[in-house]
Copies of this chain bind each other. A is one copy, B any other.
Amino acid sequence: MAKALREPKDTSAQAIARLREAGLRPTRQRVELAGVLFQSGDRHVTAESLHDEVAQTGVKVSLATVYNTLHQFTEAGLLRQVIVDAARSYFDTNTGDHQHFFVEKEGLLIDIPGESIAVAGVPAPPAGLSVDRVDVVVRVRRN
């Protein structure tokens, strides 16, 4: 009776709680997606990769819903959108302060902890503008 295995019920319960806190109605699809996204540690997904992944668990969620959900989760602060590729959008379950390595050829994102990296010397933005956030993308390639 120590820490329970990650049974479906358990995972769902956590997902439902998370959704409720975020003010999102816990529908079957959202619970399922939240389960996949937040079960393991930090993850980076695209709409399509998530759609495929969920499909493989046997649950049916339309691509439109995946897109809707990804955006809702982002608005709710559960996800963060990462723009590194002109071709597709990535979503990151790590919403804290951090940056990324990006392997373009493979579409692979790797977190860089926020504490380790520092950007100095950012000039004050032109009048009338204020800084929203600073994104650093370290583009890397296979040797």
Q: Knowing A85-B83, A120-B118 touch, does A134 contact B125 (C-beta < 8 A)?
A: no
Residue A56 at the chain B interface, CB threshold 8 Å: no
Q: Mark A110-136, 1 if CB is under 8 A from B, else 0.
A: 101000111111110110111111111
**How many angstroms between the C-alpha atoms of A86 and B86 in the bound complex?**
6
The A78-132 residues at the B interface (CB cut-off 8 A) are: 81, 83-86, 88-89, 101, 103, 110, 112, 116-123, 125-126, 128-132
Could you list which residues of chain A lie within 8 angstroms of chain B, going by C-beta atoms?
81, 83-86, 88-89, 101, 103, 110, 112, 116-123, 125-126, 128-143
Chain B positions within 8 Å of A119 at CB level: 117-120, 136
Report yes or no: B140 in contact with A125, Cβ–Cβ below 8 A.
yes
Can you give 29 contacting A-B residue pairs, CB < 8 Å? A81-B86, A83-B83, A83-B84, A83-B85, A83-B86, A86-B86, A86-B89, A101-B126, A101-B129, A103-B129, A116-B121, A116-B122, A117-B122, A117-B123, A119-B119, A120-B120, A125-B140, A128-B142, A128-B143, A130-B140, A130-B141, A130-B143, A131-B140, A132-B140, A134-B136, A134-B138, A135-B138, A135-B139, A137-B137
